[in-house]
Amino acid sequence: MAVTSNVDGATDAVALTLDFQRRWWVWLLIGCAWMFASLVILQFEQASVATVGVIVGCMFLVLGAQNFVSALTAAGYWWLYTAFGILFVGAGIACLLQPAATFAGVADMLGFLFMLVGIWWTVEALLMRGTFPLWWIKLLAGIAMNVVAFWTAGQFFIDKAYLLLVFAGIWALLQGVNDIARAFELKARSRA
């Protein structure tokens, strides 16, 4: 992102960051939406193969979009947010194009996909360490997601469709917690 000075002497990047801080409530709403999605996903007792593929695809698309928005305000690491955004959007599109094939593929690759999310959350937490006092929440969520990834790779549940729903619900819950923590951090920064 090119940084240029505008009329009042502030940089465009700083102005954009301040604008995001004033809109902290957007992250709060997104976090609440993730929590609601988690509750809905966890309410399924049985799901069709296509339903699971579509749910996972939508989750990847939303996570990719969130990374693109974060790339706009990330000073030195915008490229990392963009790269992960591209990966998540690509995974989401693949899931939506072939939901039944997605189910079979995701069931076999679920551990890898959850590890991708867990690694990203861990890296993002470490990048935020100096600027985000609640960075440790994202770190704990990243570690938890990596534990879920190894658990999933071991196929400790018999029914793969149910496994996908449970862990998609856990993923949505952890993402919601992360976004709500980010919202309150942005609110605190907007007051400063």
Q: Provide CB contacts within 8 A for 178, sequence distance 6+.
A: 31, 121, 137, 138, 141
What tokens does 76 get?
A: 């030195």
For the stretch 129-173, pLDDT in tens is 888 888 898 899 999 988 888 877 776 555 666 777 777 888 889
Q: Given pLDDT bands bounded at 50, 70 and 90, which one contains residue 9? A: very low
pLDDT at 90: 92
Average pLDDT, stretch 45-68?
81
Give the DSSP letter of residue 96. H
Per-domain residue ranges for the chain?
Answer: 34-191
pLDDT at 10: 45
Beta-carbon neighbour count of residue 147 at 10 Å?
12
Average pLDDT, stretch 53-72?
87
pLDDT for 190 beyond 90: no
Angle between helices 160-191 and 49-73 (to 10 degrees): 20
> Pick the residue with more confidence: 139 or 19?
139
Q: Name the residue type at position 22.
A: R
pTM score over 0.95: no
> Pick the residue with more confidence: 46 or 90?
90
> Pick the residue with more confidence: 125 or 46?
125
Cα torsion angle, 137, 133, 131, 30, sign: positive
pLDDT for 66 beyond 50: yes
